[in-house]
């Protein structure tokens, strides 16, 4: 295994939004006030969308734009879990799961017995929160429901405009590849699902090089046919083009698909692109694209980067100076850096990664 991972970085540009709310506002005298999510860093305030909300948008895009049949959710008392069936449901495969349960099986003497079928799967797709690049001063605006007779019903909501950044990593080796050996946190499949997976055309067993058994022998992993894994990876990445979502879209609709994206394949788990968008100004109020930082990554991680690095930007988003810097970067790294529109770069990266999938 080559430890191949897609490393992605995105920017979104939104105006007058309240993308992810934090419950009742404590900064208003109105009875109905909703706060937006904010975090403090170096004494300044930054708005953010939780990583969980981003994943919700992503999963919905896969369902609506790529016809993914999502894994059903089962609610029991105070816990909820999906079907935990990554063979049938691609979102269980890509987004992971945990299911603690027992099932009745028949033993060799013909008697029924309960068997622990607890399974877990670390998500091959990992993502950050989406955080404003610059410090943000949120405003609390007054609204009202006034279409009925009598007094209007006032409420407030916190709104903001921001350029926001997020990053993600997709483990290309893990998609469509499952462990069935009984180790906490590693057992992805029950014995029944393992048999079902191996019965599929093109599925096979491969040795797990990372965790030998007590006898020093390699555990066996179940791997789905390459065409299935390729489709799941390609569609997961292509869904970036169609991301939509966020709270209060009725009155605060915004495009949350990327206006800037970097996509690369690396052989390491760390994410090198986290600081390519920064802020400047006395209160970190102005966005700045760190093109020098991108160039530094190309040099420092030359040995880990596989294939080309694709940089996409939407026309009108970046300043002409930043676009010129990116053009210079492309000329300095011919055959390494591809530069173009968002959707074109996503499509070209997907074409590249389809050839890299083991």
- Tell me the C-alpha distance between 3 and 5, whole Å: 6
H helix runs in 136-271, sequence order? 191-199, 226-238, 249-252
**105 Cβ contact partners less than 8 Å away, ≥ 6 residues apart:** 112, 113, 114, 115
- Tell me the C-alpha distance between 74 and 80, whole Å: 6
Q: Taking Cα atoms as reference points, which of 249, 344, 188, 274 lies closest to residue 57?
A: 249
Q: Taking Cα atoms as reference points, which of 347, 269, 343 lies closest to residue 4?
A: 269
Burial 313-352 (b: 16+ CB within 10 A, else e): bbeebbeeebbebbeebbeebeeebbbeebbebbbbbbeb
Q: Supply the DSSP symbol for 320.
A: H
**Could you tell me the pTM of the whole model?**
0.93
Q: Where are the domains of the chain?
A: 5-176+224-356
Please, which residues bridge with residue 171 across strands?
5
Q: Per-residue pLDDT tens, the chain, 358 aa: give them.
A: 688 999 999 999 999 999 999 998 888 777 789 999 999 999 999 999 999 999 999 999 999 999 999 999 988 877 888 999 999 999 999 999 998 877 676 777 777 777 777 889 999 999 999 999 999 999 999 888 888 888 888 889 999 999 999 999 999 999 999 998 877 777 899 888 899 889 888 899 998 877 777 777 888 899 999 999 999 999 999 999 999 999 988 888 999 999 999 999 999 878 999 999 999 998 889 999 999 999 999 999 999 999 999 999 999 999 999 999 999 999 999 999 999 999 999 999 999 999 999 8
């Amino acid at each position: 295994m080559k430890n191949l991972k897609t490393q992605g970085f995105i920017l979104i540009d939104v105006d007058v939004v309240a993308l992810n709310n934090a419950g009742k506002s404590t900064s208003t005298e109105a009875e109905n006030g909703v706060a937006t999510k904010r975090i403090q860093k170096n004494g300044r305030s930054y708005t953010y969308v939780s990583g969980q909300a981003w994943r919700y948008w992503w999963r919905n895009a896969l369902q609506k734009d790529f016809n993914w049949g999502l894994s059903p959710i089962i609610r029991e008392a105070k816990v909820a879990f999906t079907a935990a069936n990554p063979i049938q449901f691609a979102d269980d495969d890509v987004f992971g799961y945990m299911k603690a349960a027992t099932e009745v099986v028949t033993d060799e003497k013909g008697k029924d017995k309960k068997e622990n079928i607890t399974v877990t799967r670390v998500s091959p797709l990992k993502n950050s929160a989406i955080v404003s690049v610059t410090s943000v001063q949120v405003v609390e605006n007054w609204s009202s429901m006034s279409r009925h007779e009598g007094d209007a019903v006032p409420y407030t909501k916190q709104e903001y405009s921001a350029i926001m950044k997020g990053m993600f990593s997709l483990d290309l080796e893990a998609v469509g590849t499952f462990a069935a050996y009984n180790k906490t946190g590693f057992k992805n499949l029950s014995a029944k699902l393992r048999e079902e997976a191996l019965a599929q055309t093109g599925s096979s067993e491969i040795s797990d090089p990372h965790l030998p058994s007590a006898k020093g022998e390699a555990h066996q992993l179940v791997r789905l046919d390459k065409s299935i894994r390729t489709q799941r990876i390609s569609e997961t990445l292509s869904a970036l083009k169609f991301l939509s979502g966020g709270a209060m879209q009725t009155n605060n609709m915004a495009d949350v698909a990327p206006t800037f994206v970097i996509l690369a394949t690396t052989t390491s788990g760390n994410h090198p692109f986290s600081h390519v968008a920064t802020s400047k100004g006395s209160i970190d109020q102005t966005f700045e694209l760190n093109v020098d930082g991108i160039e530094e990554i190309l040099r420092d991680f030359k040995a880990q980067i596989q294939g080309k690095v694709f940089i996409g930007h939407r026309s009108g988003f970046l300043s002409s100076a930043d676009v010129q810097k990116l053009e210079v970067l492309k000329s300095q790294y011919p055959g390494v850096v591809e530069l173009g529109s968002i959707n074109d770069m996503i499509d070209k990266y997907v074409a590249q990664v389809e050839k890299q999938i083991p």
